[in-house]
Structure 1
Amino acid sequence: MINILMQAEAATEAGGSLPISFTAVYVVGFIAAVTIGSIAWYNSKRPAGWEGQDRPDWVPEVDTKQDEESENKS
């Protein structure tokens, strides 16, 4: 990991900009983190003041009853 960062720094100093692939990895990673975090937040218990709010249609519903049943059997 450190080697990759050192190469990116060297490329920045030599050429003045980061390679497109290096930048694309960070952009895609950021979008994935925001998407996964949003889904997890919307499927968690609602914070104070948000109890009556509806979940957006684009957020998939996660069924946690199966997880609870498997824990009770153990």
Structure 2
Amino acid sequence: MSINTDLKFEDAMQELERVVLELESSNVSLTRSIELYNRAKALHRHCDNIIKKISLNIELIDSEKGKPIEDEEQ
């Protein structure tokens, strides 16, 4: 199951929370549970990738030893 790469971290986390709540409900069929599990795994992977990119960006900023950060839009 693929995730829209433009999906913001916060939106992905909210959707993941909704998926977990539905999974925890007692009236979910096995087929639906598998669909939800696959969606949850995809959302988790998407969020994890965002966190990894942010961590790399922070490491890059820290490695510049206090140099001013250039605004990319200029």
Which TM-score band applies after superposition, normalised by the shorter structure?
Answer: 0.3 to 0.5
Q: Which has more helix, going by share of residues?
A: 2
Taking structure 2 as the reference length, the TM-score comes to 0.44
Q: Return the structure number with greater relative CO, CA threshold 8 A, min gap 6.
A: 2
Taking structure 1 as the reference length, the TM-score comes to 0.44
Q: Which has the larger radius of gyration?
A: 1
